[in-house]
Amino acid sequence: MSKVDVLLGLQWGDEGKGKAVDFLAPKYDVVARFQGGPNAGHTLEFDGKKHVLHQIPSGIFHEQIKNVIGNGVVIDPIVFQKEIEELGPYNLDLKSSLLLSNKAQLILPTHKLLDKALEISKGNEKIGSTLRGIGPTYQDKVGRHGLRIGDIIEPDFDTRYTKLKEQHLSILDRLGFNEDHSEAEKEFFESLDLMRSFQVLSTEYFINDSISTGKKVLAEGAQGTLLDIDFGSYPFVTSSNTTTAGACAGLGIAPKQIDQVFGIFKAYCTRVGSGPFPTELFGEEGESLRKLGNEFGATTGRPRRCGWLDIPALNYSCMLNGVTQLFMMKADVLSGIDTVKMCNAYIKDGEQTEEFPFIYTDSYEPVNESLEGWTLDSYDNFESLPSKLKQFVETIEGKVKTPVSLISLGPDRKETVLKKI
């Protein structure tokens, strides 16, 4: 019997999970997404090509891998159709390699309108949602009136769709939000036809059968731990559990089946949307890091806020997820900077703390440590990296008490070194 490994983000998303999954994928038989939906943008680069996936798991380019969209995902059929079309040139046998959970919730066109209307109604307190309908769809799931992929083959689907849509329209009406969605509705029904041509099943059986027949399963997270609905910087979070626990609930895996937990973090921090960010850099410094790292959202194109690495937050994420190995991404971005910093604690009301706060307000001052920077040259392995970069890695390992086993030095699969742990 084999076990399930989990790969997830330890910051506010955009850590580089797409590249990491794609890199690891050849070792696995199954790659499964367990939460989130089209708010995610997982970027993969290989053979000089760049591809962004939103809902489809990042193992899709490896023909031998089965890719599962799990029950914990919320799926927009219109985005699904676009993603399938964009994969067309790669000549992949998607009907065989992609499996959809019958229990994954459907994002309706009116969910997206609700997302917009609710964001507008929040005024200055808006979350900065990607407006992909994520929050309203999870609300309907928990409210027990959502529609699931498995429902699209049922004879009463249209009736249930209309009932839910009417509920949404009445809320929109009360919010004074009126936007035509007839075109989107047409596209929605067309894309359901495509969805019906895929394998729709109780993927929890598929995954557990895979485990018991010795297949290797990788659970792929989306967003990041600091956006988790329970433990993130609430209310500036997404609407799902982005942690290891989310992998169990979002795929139907028992906790005892989890083996390795790969925690992905950037050598610095970024955040899109609103919410506190104690190590954020403003003005020239922030702008320069944004340019060096090309920090613009893969889904919305929005500029990402940038700042130094936050060790208390990283420790918190490692604790919540039971991280066994760390993957440090985008170390190349800091190349050429004379002094790099990391935050070791926060000062709040004159007191120093290393605890991730309940209300994570802007009044948390970072206590930063300065380290000498490095300039990246040619490298073959971890040993041949600049000594200051190796020290940076070892400093993090010392503070987080977890080994770093992979360092990413560029977007391509080849720009990666492994470190023995």
Active-site positions read 14, 42
Of 272, 265, 237, 259, the closest CA to residue 359 belongs to 237
> Tell me, what DSSP letter sits at residue 364?
-
Provide CB contacts within 8 A for 229, sequence distance 6+: 237, 238, 239, 240, 241, 242
Cα–Cα distance for residue pair 57/37, rounded to 1 Å:
11
**Residue 128, interface with ligand IMP (CB under 6 A)?**
yes
Write out the H or E segment, with its range, that includes residue 246. Answer: helix 244-251
Using CA atoms, how far residue 190 sits from 37, 194, 317, in Å, is 19, 7, 41
Residue 58 binds ligand IMP (CB under 6 A): no
CA dihedral of 37, 105, 99, 323, whole degrees rounded to 10: 50
Residue of the chain from 14, 45, 76, 310 that contacts ligand IMP (CB under 6 A): 14
Q: Under a CB-based contact definition with an 8 Å cutoff, are residues 46 and 76 in contact?
A: no
Smallest gap from Cβ 3 to ligand IMP, in A, equals: 26
- 94-116 burial code (b ≥16 CB/10 A, e <16): beebbbbbbbbbbbbbbbbbbbb
- Decide if residue 303 touches ligand IMP (CB under 6 A): no
Site for ligand IMP in 84-123 (CB under 6 A): none
Q: How far is the CB of 248 from ligand IMP (least distance, A)?
A: 21
Of residues 207, 73, 197, the one with CA closest to residue 146: 73
Written as one letter, the residue type at 215 is K
Do residues 218 and 24 make contact, with C-beta atoms less than 8 angstroms apart? Answer: yes
Interaction residues for ligand IMP, span 334-373 (CB under 6 A): none
Judged by CB, which is closer to ligand IMP: 103, or 111? 111
CA dist., res. 388 & res. 307, Å (int): 20
Residue range at the interface with ligand IMP (CB under 6 A); choices 129-137, 257-265, 309-317, 365-373? 129-137
Nearer to ligand IMP, 191 or 238 (CB): 238
Of 58, 69, 79, which is closest to residue 150 (Cα–Cα)? Answer: 69
Q: Given candidates 30, 78, 134, 326, which one binds ligand IMP under the rule CB under 6 A?
A: 134
Least Å distance between CB 222 and ligand IMP? Answer: 6
CB of 101 to ligand IMP, least distance (A): 19
Instruction: Decide if 280 contacts 365 (C-beta within 8 A).
Output: no
**Residue nearer to ligand IMP on the CB measure, 43 or 395:** 43
Q: How far is the CB of 133 from ligand IMP (least distance, A)?
A: 8
From candidates 71, 210, 223, 225, binder to ligand IMP by CB under 6 A: 223
> Is residue 222 involved in binding ligand IMP (CB under 6 A)?
yes
Residue whose C-beta lies closest to ligand IMP: 273
Q: How many residues bind ligand IMP (CB under 6 A)?
A: 20
Is 17 or 419 the residue whose CB approaches ligand IMP more closely?
17
Site string for ligand IMP, 256-275 (x = CB under 6 A): ----------------xx--
CB of 92 to ligand IMP, least distance (A): 23
Q: Which residues bind ligand IMP (CB under 6 A)?
A: 12-14, 39-41, 127-130, 132, 134-135, 222-223, 227, 236, 238, 272-273
